[in-house]
Structure 1
Amino acid sequence: MRGWREGLWHRKPVKGRVVVDPRTKRLVNRIRPGEIAVIHHRDLDEVAAEGLVSAKVAAVINAAASISGRYPAQGPRLLLEAGIPVLDSVGEAVIHRLSDGDEVKLAGEVLWLNDRQPLASGNRLTWIRWREKMEEAHQRLEHTLGPFIENTLDYAREERHWVARPLSLPPLRGQWRGRNVVVVIRGPGYAEDLYALRSFIRETDPFLIAVDGGADALLKYGWTPDLILGDMDSVSDRALRMAGELVVHAYPDGRAPGLERVERLGLSAHLLPSRGTSEDVALLVAFEGGAEWIVAVGTHSHMVDFLEKGREGMASTLLTRIKMGAKLVDAKGVSRLYQPRVSFARVAVLALASAMPVAALLWVHPRLFEMGRLCWTTLQIWLT
């Protein structure tokens, strides 16, 4: 069946207007259903692929290889499962030659501009190609893991003083000392895990900290983030306007590219210069602010996670987790671990409990009793 679909894709052209952005997480916030995404994303990560699927794009044109074989990238699998055509490795020039709104046609392994001019050619992503690259990635995993560990340890030695010292918090209005804090990061499975925690959030009323796009996941399920922290490049304008407070994660030297966007929206934000990733800083902010428990949703915690983010090590995350210890509760994957099931026995008990009051009413009311007996007799006749 998959081979048949791939052959059909090869024969059937895809036409549409393009939206161009080398950063996929920015593109998914502005592309509309039926448009074609033009990206430059080597080894497409799971979160980016989920965004493209949710956006209902007609096709994906990738200047780079969606899976290079360097490590087992899961994003391409999601696009294949969704039946979204993908043309890989068309070259970086396409990013510069196309503009938002240009009409293109995708036919086989060739990209056409305005249905007349061949613009680029590439490699069609298929299940066969994906499996070959996944096998290659698993074979190379040992060689990839070694340098990753060495890089992590080298940077951990440099950054150990940073994580050992208390983080200097800005003067925030929100306070969470003695409260539970939920920190939502836009990582693999973050939306599903957040949904699985809805009873916990409803019952304990924790302080909600979102890292960039994690704020939109909170809004999706009806919760407003008390604080958004990050470089502000993958969060919606709506979320920024609704948040209780904003903290822009700045470089250690004070540069904060995300501040310009916040000010352009007419909003104010605190600056927090710090090393590490935004999710590390958000966890440390919750820790230094005196949280009782810190529940982390969507965290990046292993080699593939960090390679997908373009980081060759995870020093700051390793040190942050060492510092926080047992106070950190990682909810990553909780939605996959347990999913409520409705058993036949429970349905039967519920049906019996519902039927008993009806049966009692029929028994004590003569007219209803006769009507019920007539219905039962009719049903028996119909069944025979």
Structure 2
Amino acid sequence: MSSTRRMRPADPTVPLVGTVRVDERTKRLTTRLQTGEIAVIDHGDLDQVSAHALVACSPAAVVNAAASTTGAYPNMGPRILLDAGIPLLDRAGPEVMDVAEGSTVTIKEGEVWVGGALVASADRLTPEQVTDQMERARANLSDQIEAFSHNTMEYVRAERELLLDGIGVPELRTDFAGRYALVVVRGYHYKQDLQALRPFLRDARPVLIGVDGGADALLEMGLAPDVIVGDMDSVSDRALTSGAEIVVHAYRDGRAPGLERVEQLGVTDAVILPATGTSEDIAMLLADELGAELIVAVGTHATLVEFLDKGRQGMASTFLTRLRVGSKLVDAKGVSLLYRSGISTMSLVWLVLAGLFALGVALATTPAGRAFFGVVAVRWDDIWAWIEGLF
């Protein structure tokens, strides 16, 4: 169930005016999008995680150059935006991406204006349209399952060395041997899962691994990541300069596009790790091969819709990773259930009060205790007399 609060939709006849932020990468846009601004994105099949990130920024509207739902599968992104009361203008066309960052944009129903010039016409989605698109997308889901399964098996054949040989283990300062590891991806319900894991984090003190933006999720919780793994396209400068060890996920041929950004921030000891698969897979394999006893996953992807949300055509690397890591890997929800306290706050209050009462009774049976309570009684009489004197 979505945690987004349902709000009354804005009146489509009232023009919206705001500063525009433009980026073809939605997760990159949300790092600079401010409240009341207008987001311009190019995101076919808007996914849940991106939609929640947009909602958290509280934009005045979202303009999508692409189709927010293509019909390939029932993606929840458009519904999340509309439930939050954020207007969504769909299929605005590629020309809207040419609007200059920081321009003042006016939205009149489905039209996007800059100054006195009309730059794009879009379809302002209604809840009824989104519901109809979702129903039609569900009808196509069986075809997606068949194609997804076929692609997965093809990739398994191509990437089977991942299961047999693993990845090359780089040298890291962080000691994993015999410890628990927490792998955090800024994915589904990651905030709730991290909150629920606080007792586990306090007791186990695991190695904290942030996968790209997962490092910022840890910082938001007041936790310092030990290791950051990823292609560095959605992690903040603050996280990269936090002192964590940086592992740049590179292509198999050694190309690492994210390394340049890391080095520009003055991080000179970043490790390059060429490997197939997703960055979250690499983080798990890294923890496994460096000797972690248990790997707890937060926000990782496991269902068909989650993989389709990420634009994956198969899940070979994830499938192989789970086979290789085996029983070491557990989901955050399972761990939080084991560490959940069975004593409520009110029960603890009553327990403390009962203990204080028992202590008072015990003191009253001793000469020293009786003398103490006598002094307290005299003091109380003096205070009460002083209060009565005020009135």
TM-score bracket for this pair, using the shorter chain length = 0.7 to 0.9
**Which is further off, 311-320 or 186-195?**
186-195
Give the structure 2 partner of residue 376 of structure 1: none
Q: Is the 8 A contact 2:6 2:85 kept in 1?
A: no
The residue identity in structure 2 corresponding to 1:296 is A
* d(CA) in 2 for partners of 1:302, 1:100: 36
Residue 260 of structure 2 is matched in structure 1 by 260
Deviations 1:216-237 (A, max 9, x none): 0000011111010100000000
The normalised TM-score by structure 2 is: 0.85
Whichever residue aligns with residue 14 of structure 1, its letter is L
CA distance in 2, matches of 1:337, 1:35: 43
1:218 and 2:218 equivalent? Answer: yes
Superposed CA deviations along residues 283-340 of structure 1, whole A, max 9, x for unmatched, are 0000000100000111111211111111111000001001111110122698899998
> Given the superposition, is the C-alpha separation of residues 217 and 4 from structure 1 closer, same or farther in structure 2, using an over 3 Å criterion?
closer
Task: Give distance in 2, aligned partners of 1:41 and 1:256.
Answer: 24
Counterpart-to-counterpart distance in 2, 1:338 and 1:67: 39
**Contact persistence 2:199–2:340 (CA under 8 A):** no
- Which aligned segments of 4 or more residues in structure 1 are displaced greater than 2 angstroms? 2-6, 332-357, 359-369
Structure 1 residue aligned with 2:319: 318
- Provide the rounded CA distance (Å) in 2 between the counterparts of 1:202 and 1:344: 18
Question: What's 1:381 paired with?
Answer: none
2:125 maps to what in 1? Answer: 125
Q: How many angstroms does 1:162 deviate by?
A: 2.5
Is contact 1:185–1:210 with CA below 8 Å preserved after alignment?
Answer: yes
Choose the corresponding residue for 1:19, options 18, 21, 24: 21
Residue 200 of structure 1: CA displacement?
0.5
| Residues 288-327 of structure 1: pairs in structure 2 closer than 5 A | 288-327=289-328
Does the alignment pair 1:280 with 2:281?
yes
Between the two proteins, the alignment pairs up a number of residues equal to 368
Please list every run of 5 or more consecutive structure 1 residues that lacks an aligned counterpart in the other structure. Answer: 373-384
Aligned to 1:55: 57
Secondary structure at 1:144 match in 2: helix
Aligned mates of 1:339, 1:237 — CA distance in 2: 34
2:387 is aligned to: none
Match of 2:134 in 1: 134
> 1:73, CA displacement in angstroms?
1.0
* CA deviation profile, 1:240-269 (whole Å, cap 9, x unmatched): 000421010000000100001001111121
Compute the TM-score of the two structures, normalised by the length of structure 1: 0.87
Confirm or deny: 8 A CA contact 2:7 2:84 kept in the other structure: no
Per mean C-alpha deviation after superposition, the further-off stretch among 340-349 and 11-20 is 340-349
Counterpart in the other structure of 1:375:
none
Paired-residue identity, %? 51
Letter in 2 for 1:21: D
> Alpha-carbon deviation of 1:77?
2.1
Aligned with 1:171: secondary structure? coil
The amino acid that maps onto 1:52 is: L
In 2, the alpha carbon distance for the partners of 1:40 and 1:356 equals 65
2:140 aligned counterpart, secondary structure: helix
Which letter does structure 2 place at the counterpart of 1:255?
R
| Secondary structure of residue in 2 paired with 1:170 | coil
Alpha-carbon separation, structure 2, partners of 1:351 and 1:173: 44
What is the Cα deviation at residue 125 of structure 1?
Answer: 2.0
- Asked if structure 2 preserves the Cα contact closer than 8 Å seen for 1:295 and 1:330, the reply is yes
Given the superposition, is the C-alpha separation of residues 366 and 4 from structure 1 closer, same or farther in structure 2, using an over 3 Å criterion?
closer
- Name the CA distance, whole Å, in 2 between partners of 1:194 and 1:300: 16
Asked if the contact 1:31/1:37 (under 8 Å) is kept, the reply is yes
Gaps spanning 5+ residues in structure 2: where?
365-372, 385-391
Equivalent residue in structure 2 for 1:36, among 27, 35, 38:
38
8 Å CA contact 1:299, 1:332 repeated in 2: no
Once residues 59 and 234 of structure 1 are traced to their aligned partners in structure 2, the CA distance between those partners, rounded to angstroms, is 22
- Greater shift in the superposed pair: 232-241 or 69-78: 69-78
| Correspondence list, 1:99-110, <5 A | 99-110=100-111
Which range is displaced more, 331-340 or 101-110?
331-340
**Which residue is equivalent to 2:369?**
none
Partners of 2:6 and 2:197 lie apart in 1 by: 39
Conserved 8 A contact 1:192-1:335:
no
Q: Which amino acid aligns with 1:57?
A: P
User: How far is the alpha carbon of 1:354 from its aligned partner?
Assistant: 9.6
Give the whole-Å Cα distance in 1 for the aligned partners of 2:290 and 2:58: 40
Question: CA-to-partner distance for each residue in 1:36-59, whole Å, 9 max, x for gaps?
Answer: 110001111111111111112111
- Structure 1 stretch 330-339 or stretch 140-149: which is displaced more? 330-339
- Match for residue 164 of structure 2? 164
